[in-house]
Structure 1
Amino acid sequence: MNLKNICLGALALSMVSGVAFAGALDEPDNMAPFFTDSGMKTMKPMADFKTAFMAMPMEKQEAMKKECNDAAMSKPHAEFCANVQALGGAN
């Protein structure tokens, strides 16, 4: 019985941890409003970027700001994070 509980706990922890690795900046649904093309190569102008950012729920905004403040997470999204920083993302 105790071994079963330990195994179930380990499984639950691994599933929760796996979700944590995929951040807000890695979710295509979160990032799509900031780009003009479906391939997400061309960023929208700052005015449109700000409109899209402010339209997002506060939780997503905070998650993006947090990830942009992390050097390892922000490196692949440098242009996006520069815009977030310009909107006051440096907390």
Structure 2
Amino acid sequence: MNLKMLTTGAISLAMITGSALAGGSTGTSALDDPAKMSPFFTDAGMKTMKSEAEFKAAWMTMKEEDRAAMMKECGDEAIAKAHDNFCKMTKQLGGAN
């Protein structure tokens, strides 16, 4: 089970990173970090987001600087496109400030 999770995460990370780099972004996005993003998804492949209440609970348990970094990255058009649903949810929680 762990090998499958790691493999799926690595593949997802490679795909997301490739998309971000193709969009002209440099560096690695915190939104591509499976350790930071997995609390917001129901599956290891990070395709299905948790409910709004579960998302908010996970969001509020994060450090303020991690939330700020993620909100900043959602402001980047290429990154936001790759993480559309996640960024929409952060904005609903007040991340658009």
Compute the TM-score of the two structures, normalised by the length of structure 2: 0.71
Structure 2: 5+ residue runs without aligned partners? 1-25
Give the structure with higher Rg (CA).
Answer: 1
- What is the aligned-residue identity percentage? 54
Match of 1:26 among 14, 23, 32: 32
Structure 1: 5+ residue runs without aligned partners? 1-19
What is the aligned partner in structure 2 of residue 88 from structure 1?
Answer: 94
The alignment covers a number of residue pairs equal to 72
Per the TM alignment, residue 87 of structure 1 is displaced from its structure 2 partner at its CA by 0.4
Structure with greater helix percent: 1
Greater relative contact order, per chain length (Cα 8 Å cut-off, separation 6+): 2
Give the Cα separation in 1 of the matches to 2:62 and 2:54.
13
Which amino acid letter does the alignment assign opposite residue 76 of structure 1?
A
Q: Does 1:42 align with 2:28?
A: no
| Runs of 4+, deviation exceeding 2 Å | none
